């Protein structure tokens, strides 16, 4: 495991956002869902795609709070521009389970 400094860690801007829209992403090489996430007044709405179809459908994601890295450069995924990276962990089968707060928190809050 590579070590990083605390200064490196604080450069990663991880915020909580609320999924306001979600759609299937059939054009993706691997099954994925397009997400539009509201991060509040400071950051606004950002979009991304995530390979999370094993545990989620678009309908179950709307209204959910998720954690995401918001200061990576945008990345083109097919015809879709991904602007943030939602965070998750693999289950026993390697399928991603999203990370989010245990209870409601104000959107846009930065992880400490």
Average pLDDT rounded to a whole number, residues 9-26:
96
Share of the chain above pLDDT 70, in %: 100
| φ, ψ (nearest 5 deg) of residue 83 | -105, -15
| pLDDT at residue 57, as a whole number | 98
pLDDT (tens digit per residue) in 52-102: 999 999 999 999 999 999 999 999 988 899 999 999 999 999 999 999 999
Q: Which pTM does this prediction carry?
A: 0.94
| C-alpha to C-alpha distances, 23 to 4, 35, 59, 96, nearest whole angstrom | 36, 7, 8, 17
Q: Is residue 21 part of a domain?
A: yes
User: Residue 6: which H helix or E strand, with range?
Assistant: helix 6-11
User: What's the residue count for the chain?
Assistant: 112
Instruction: Report the CATH number at residue 50.
Output: 2.40.50.140
Burial degree of 18 (CB within 10 A; 0-12, 13-18, 19+): buried
Q: Is residue 106 part of a domain?
A: no
Please give the Cα distance from 69 to 82 (Å, whole number): 11
Number of structural domains the chain divides into: 1
Q: Is residue 109 part of a domain?
A: no
Range of the domain at 56: 13-98
């Amino acid at each position: 495991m590579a070590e990083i400094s605390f200064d490196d860690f604080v450069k990663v801007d991880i915020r909580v956002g609320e999924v306001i829209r979600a759609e299937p992403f059939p054009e993706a090489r691997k099954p994925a869902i397009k997400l539009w996430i509201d991060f509040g007044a400071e950051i606004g709405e950002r979009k991304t795609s995530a390979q999370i179809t094993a545990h989620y459908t678009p309908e179950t994601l709307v209204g959910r709070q998720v954690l995401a890295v918001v200061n990576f450069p945008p990345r083109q995924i097919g015809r879709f521009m991904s602007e943030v990276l939602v965070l998750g962990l693999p289950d026993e089968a390697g399928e991603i389970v999203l990370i989010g707060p245990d209870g409601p928190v104000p959107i846009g809050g930065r992880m400490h």
